Structure 1
Protein backbone atom coordinates (compact mmCIF):
# COMPACT_ATOMS: atom_id res chain seq x y z
CA UNK A 1 0.00 0.00 0.00
CA UNK A 2 1.30 3.45 -0.87
CA UNK A 3 2.27 5.73 1.99
CA UNK A 4 1.07 8.84 0.17
CA UNK A 5 -2.09 9.51 -1.77
CA UNK A 6 -1.83 11.52 -5.02
CA UNK A 7 -5.46 12.66 -4.75
CA UNK A 8 -4.92 14.05 -1.26
CA UNK A 9 -1.68 15.76 -2.25
CA UNK A 10 -3.42 17.61 -5.08
CA UNK A 11 -6.66 18.12 -3.19
CA UNK A 12 -8.97 16.53 -5.76
CA UNK A 13 -11.73 13.94 -5.59
CA UNK A 14 -10.74 10.31 -5.94
CA UNK A 15 -10.88 9.23 -9.57
CA UNK A 16 -10.92 12.78 -10.98
CA UNK A 17 -10.04 13.28 -14.65
CA UNK A 18 -6.47 14.30 -15.56
CA UNK A 19 -7.57 17.81 -16.59
CA UNK A 20 -8.92 18.53 -13.10
CA UNK A 21 -5.69 17.15 -11.63
CA UNK A 22 -3.60 19.49 -13.81
CA UNK A 23 -5.60 22.53 -12.68
CA UNK A 24 -5.31 21.50 -9.06
CA UNK A 25 -1.57 20.89 -9.53
CA UNK A 26 -1.10 24.48 -10.66
CA UNK A 27 -3.04 25.84 -7.66
CA UNK A 28 -1.19 23.58 -5.21
CA UNK A 29 2.22 24.48 -6.69
CA UNK A 30 1.50 28.20 -6.31
CA UNK A 31 0.27 27.60 -2.77
CA UNK A 32 3.41 25.75 -1.62
CA UNK A 33 5.73 28.24 -3.36
CA UNK A 34 4.05 31.10 -1.47
CA UNK A 35 4.01 29.21 1.83
CA UNK A 36 7.64 28.14 1.57
CA UNK A 37 6.85 24.80 3.21
CA UNK A 38 9.27 21.89 3.19
CA UNK A 39 6.76 19.19 4.15
CA UNK A 40 5.27 18.99 0.65
CA UNK A 41 7.48 19.87 -2.29
CA UNK A 42 6.90 20.47 -5.96
CA UNK A 43 8.40 17.04 -6.61
CA UNK A 44 5.65 15.48 -4.50
CA UNK A 45 3.01 17.32 -6.52
CA UNK A 46 4.67 16.29 -9.79
CA UNK A 47 4.65 12.67 -8.63
CA UNK A 48 0.97 12.94 -7.69
CA UNK A 49 0.04 14.45 -11.06
CA UNK A 50 1.99 11.70 -12.86
CA UNK A 51 0.21 9.00 -10.86
CA UNK A 52 -3.22 10.40 -11.69
CA UNK A 53 -2.47 10.99 -15.37
CA UNK A 54 -1.00 7.53 -15.89
CA UNK A 55 -3.64 5.57 -13.98
CA UNK A 56 -3.99 2.07 -15.41
CA UNK A 57 -7.63 1.16 -15.83
CA UNK A 58 -10.52 2.45 -13.76
CA UNK A 59 -9.33 4.11 -10.53
CA UNK A 60 -12.49 2.95 -8.74
CA UNK A 61 -11.38 -0.66 -9.19
CA UNK A 62 -8.14 -0.04 -7.26
CA UNK A 63 -7.96 -0.99 -3.59
CA UNK A 64 -4.42 0.13 -2.78
CA UNK A 65 -5.25 3.78 -1.99
CA UNK A 66 -7.13 5.04 1.02
CA UNK A 67 -10.07 7.07 -0.24
CA UNK A 68 -11.14 10.20 1.56
CA UNK A 69 -14.41 11.73 0.35
CA UNK A 70 -14.09 15.41 -0.40
CA UNK A 71 -17.82 15.86 -0.03
CA UNK A 72 -18.70 16.41 3.67
CA UNK A 73 -22.36 15.57 2.95
CA UNK A 74 -21.29 11.94 2.58
CA UNK A 75 -21.08 11.71 6.37
CA UNK A 76 -24.59 13.09 6.92
CA UNK A 77 -27.13 10.25 6.98
CA UNK A 78 -30.13 10.72 4.72
CA UNK A 79 -32.67 9.62 7.31
CA UNK A 80 -33.03 8.16 10.76
CA UNK A 81 -32.29 4.64 11.84
CA UNK A 82 -29.46 2.55 13.14
CA UNK A 83 -26.72 4.76 11.67
CA UNK A 84 -28.44 8.06 12.54
CA UNK A 85 -29.73 7.70 16.08
CA UNK A 86 -31.64 10.60 17.62
CA UNK A 87 -29.78 12.74 20.15
CA UNK A 88 -29.93 11.54 23.73
CA UNK A 89 -29.83 14.27 26.39
CA UNK A 90 -27.26 13.67 29.09
CA UNK A 91 -28.14 14.16 32.74
CA UNK A 92 -26.82 17.36 34.29
CA UNK A 93 -23.47 16.83 36.00
CA UNK A 94 -23.37 20.09 38.01
CA UNK A 95 -25.69 21.95 40.34
CA UNK A 96 -26.84 25.53 39.86
CA UNK A 97 -26.05 27.60 42.94
CA UNK A 98 -27.46 30.91 44.12
CA UNK A 99 -24.14 32.58 43.25
CA UNK A 100 -24.51 31.39 39.64
CA UNK A 101 -27.99 32.89 39.43
CA UNK A 102 -26.83 36.17 41.01
CA UNK A 103 -23.95 36.46 38.54
CA UNK A 104 -26.26 35.86 35.61
CA UNK A 105 -28.92 38.27 36.82
CA UNK A 106 -26.43 41.07 37.56
CA UNK A 107 -24.85 40.64 34.13
CA UNK A 108 -28.25 40.72 32.45
CA UNK A 109 -29.25 43.80 34.46
CA UNK A 110 -26.13 45.61 33.28
CA UNK A 111 -26.82 44.63 29.67
CA UNK A 112 -30.47 45.73 29.86
CA UNK A 113 -29.47 49.04 31.45
CA UNK A 114 -26.96 49.74 28.68
CA UNK A 115 -29.48 48.78 26.00
CA UNK A 116 -32.22 50.97 27.44
CA UNK A 117 -29.79 53.88 27.82
CA UNK A 118 -28.89 53.65 24.14
CA UNK A 119 -32.49 53.22 22.98
CA UNK A 120 -34.13 55.78 25.31
CA UNK A 121 -33.21 58.75 23.11
CA UNK A 122 -35.07 57.17 20.20
CA UNK A 123 -38.07 56.09 22.28
CA UNK A 124 -39.08 59.51 23.63
CA UNK A 125 -39.28 61.14 20.20
CA UNK A 126 -42.77 61.35 18.76
CA UNK A 127 -43.71 62.34 15.25
CA UNK A 128 -47.34 63.11 14.47
CA UNK A 129 -46.88 62.28 10.82
CA UNK A 130 -48.53 65.54 9.78
CA UNK A 131 -47.93 69.24 10.22
CA UNK A 132 -49.37 70.78 13.42
CA UNK A 133 -49.54 74.46 14.42
CA UNK A 134 -46.58 73.99 16.73
CA UNK A 135 -44.62 71.89 14.24
CA UNK A 136 -44.34 68.13 14.00
CA UNK A 137 -42.60 67.76 17.37
CA UNK A 138 -44.04 67.96 20.84
Structure 2
Protein backbone atom coordinates (compact mmCIF):
# COMPACT_ATOMS: atom_id res chain seq x y z
CA UNK A 1 0.00 0.00 0.00
CA UNK A 2 1.13 3.56 -0.56
CA UNK A 3 1.92 5.83 2.36
CA UNK A 4 -0.74 8.28 3.49
CA UNK A 5 -0.46 11.81 2.07
CA UNK A 6 -3.14 13.55 4.11
CA UNK A 7 -4.15 13.97 7.75
CA UNK A 8 -6.07 11.03 9.15
CA UNK A 9 -8.66 11.58 11.81
CA UNK A 10 -7.95 9.29 14.70
CA UNK A 11 -11.18 7.34 14.33
CA UNK A 12 -10.98 5.49 17.59
CA UNK A 13 -8.45 5.66 20.32
CA UNK A 14 -8.33 4.85 23.98
CA UNK A 15 -6.09 5.92 26.77
CA UNK A 16 -3.93 8.38 24.92
CA UNK A 17 -0.67 8.42 26.72
CA UNK A 18 2.02 10.98 26.89
CA UNK A 19 2.97 13.20 24.00
CA UNK A 20 6.64 13.53 23.18
CA UNK A 21 8.21 16.01 20.77
CA UNK A 22 10.90 15.00 18.29
CA UNK A 23 12.76 17.05 15.71
CA UNK A 24 11.22 16.35 12.32
CA UNK A 25 12.93 15.31 9.12
CA UNK A 26 12.48 17.65 6.15
CA UNK A 27 9.08 16.23 5.24
CA UNK A 28 5.37 16.53 5.94
CA UNK A 29 4.12 14.43 8.85
CA UNK A 30 0.37 13.84 8.83
CA UNK A 31 -1.79 13.81 11.96
CA UNK A 32 -3.05 10.37 12.96
CA UNK A 33 -0.29 8.49 11.11
CA UNK A 34 2.60 6.40 12.34
CA UNK A 35 5.94 8.14 12.83
CA UNK A 36 9.37 6.58 13.15
CA UNK A 37 12.80 7.68 14.32
CA UNK A 38 15.30 7.46 11.49
CA UNK A 39 17.99 4.96 12.51
CA UNK A 40 20.71 7.07 10.88
CA UNK A 41 19.76 10.70 11.50
CA UNK A 42 17.52 10.47 14.58
CA UNK A 43 14.86 12.71 12.98
CA UNK A 44 11.15 11.89 13.01
CA UNK A 45 9.93 10.50 9.68
CA UNK A 46 6.90 8.79 8.17
CA UNK A 47 9.16 6.14 6.59
CA UNK A 48 9.70 2.86 8.44
CA UNK A 49 12.70 2.19 6.14
CA UNK A 50 11.81 -1.49 5.63
CA UNK A 51 11.92 -2.08 9.38
CA UNK A 52 15.21 -0.28 10.09
CA UNK A 53 13.53 2.68 11.85
CA UNK A 54 11.87 2.35 15.26
CA UNK A 55 8.32 3.48 16.00
CA UNK A 56 8.17 6.82 17.79
CA UNK A 57 4.35 6.92 18.01
CA UNK A 58 1.25 8.33 16.35
CA UNK A 59 1.47 11.93 15.08
CA UNK A 60 -0.70 14.15 17.30
CA UNK A 61 -0.90 17.19 14.99
CA UNK A 62 0.26 17.69 11.41
CA UNK A 63 3.78 19.02 11.03
CA UNK A 64 4.90 20.54 7.72
CA UNK A 65 8.68 20.64 7.64
CA UNK A 66 8.78 19.85 3.92
CA UNK A 67 10.11 23.31 3.08
CA UNK A 68 12.69 23.38 5.85
CA UNK A 69 15.78 21.54 6.92
CA UNK A 70 15.74 18.48 9.13
CA UNK A 71 15.36 19.60 12.73
CA UNK A 72 13.83 23.01 11.96
CA UNK A 73 10.49 21.93 13.46
CA UNK A 74 9.47 19.55 16.20
CA UNK A 75 6.46 17.27 15.99
CA UNK A 76 4.57 15.68 18.87
CA UNK A 77 3.58 12.04 18.84
CA UNK A 78 1.44 9.93 21.16
CA UNK A 79 3.72 7.32 22.69
CA UNK A 80 1.02 5.30 24.44
CA UNK A 81 -2.57 4.34 23.73
CA UNK A 82 -4.74 2.19 21.53
CA UNK A 83 -5.40 3.34 17.98
CA UNK A 84 -7.49 1.99 15.11
CA UNK A 85 -5.06 1.04 12.36
CA UNK A 86 -5.46 -0.31 8.85
CA UNK A 87 -4.14 -3.49 7.24
CA UNK A 88 -5.53 -6.69 5.77
CA UNK A 89 -6.40 -10.29 6.59
CA UNK A 90 -7.22 -9.69 10.26
CA UNK A 91 -9.58 -11.97 12.20
CA UNK A 92 -10.78 -12.33 15.78
CA UNK A 93 -7.80 -14.62 16.31
CA UNK A 94 -5.51 -11.66 15.63
CA UNK A 95 -6.22 -10.27 19.11
CA UNK A 96 -3.00 -10.46 21.10
CA UNK A 97 -0.80 -10.74 18.01
CA UNK A 98 2.05 -8.37 17.23
CA UNK A 99 1.60 -6.11 14.22
CA UNK A 100 4.19 -4.30 12.14
CA UNK A 101 4.16 -1.04 10.18
CA UNK A 102 5.08 -1.05 6.51
CA UNK A 103 4.47 2.66 5.93
CA UNK A 104 3.01 5.60 7.84
CA UNK A 105 -0.49 4.11 8.00
CA UNK A 106 -0.52 0.42 7.08
CA UNK A 107 0.15 -2.54 9.36
CA UNK A 108 0.61 -6.25 8.77
CA UNK A 109 1.03 -9.43 10.80
CA UNK A 110 4.44 -10.28 9.31
CA UNK A 111 7.67 -8.80 10.68
CA UNK A 112 9.35 -9.12 7.28
CA UNK A 113 10.75 -5.71 6.22
CA UNK A 114 8.52 -3.94 8.76
CA UNK A 115 8.70 -2.17 12.12
CA UNK A 116 7.05 -3.43 15.30
CA UNK A 117 4.04 -1.20 16.07
CA UNK A 118 2.33 -3.05 18.93
CA UNK A 119 -0.30 -5.66 19.81
CA UNK A 120 -3.85 -6.09 18.53
CA UNK A 121 -6.31 -5.43 21.36
CA UNK A 122 -9.57 -5.59 19.43
CA UNK A 123 -10.75 -6.99 16.11
CA UNK A 124 -12.97 -4.55 14.21
CA UNK A 125 -12.92 -5.94 10.67
CA UNK A 126 -10.65 -7.79 8.25
CA UNK A 127 -8.98 -4.44 7.50
CA UNK A 128 -9.19 -2.58 10.83
CA UNK A 129 -7.96 -3.44 14.32
CA UNK A 130 -7.28 -1.58 17.56
CA UNK A 131 -3.58 -1.65 18.39
CA UNK A 132 -1.85 -0.85 21.67
CA UNK A 133 1.32 0.89 20.48
CA UNK A 134 3.18 0.78 23.83
CA UNK A 135 5.10 -2.39 22.92
CA UNK A 136 6.25 -0.93 19.61
CA UNK A 137 7.42 2.51 20.72
CA UNK A 138 11.20 2.48 20.45
CA UNK A 139 11.26 -1.31 20.87
Q: Is TM more than 0.5 here?
A: no
Larger Rg: 1
TM class, shorter-length: under 0.3
Query: Relative contact order: is structure 1 or structure 2 higher (C-alpha 8 Å, sep ≥ 6)?
Result: 2
Normalized per residue, which structure has more strand? Answer: 2
TM-score (norm 2): 0.18
Normalized per residue, which structure has more helix? Answer: 1
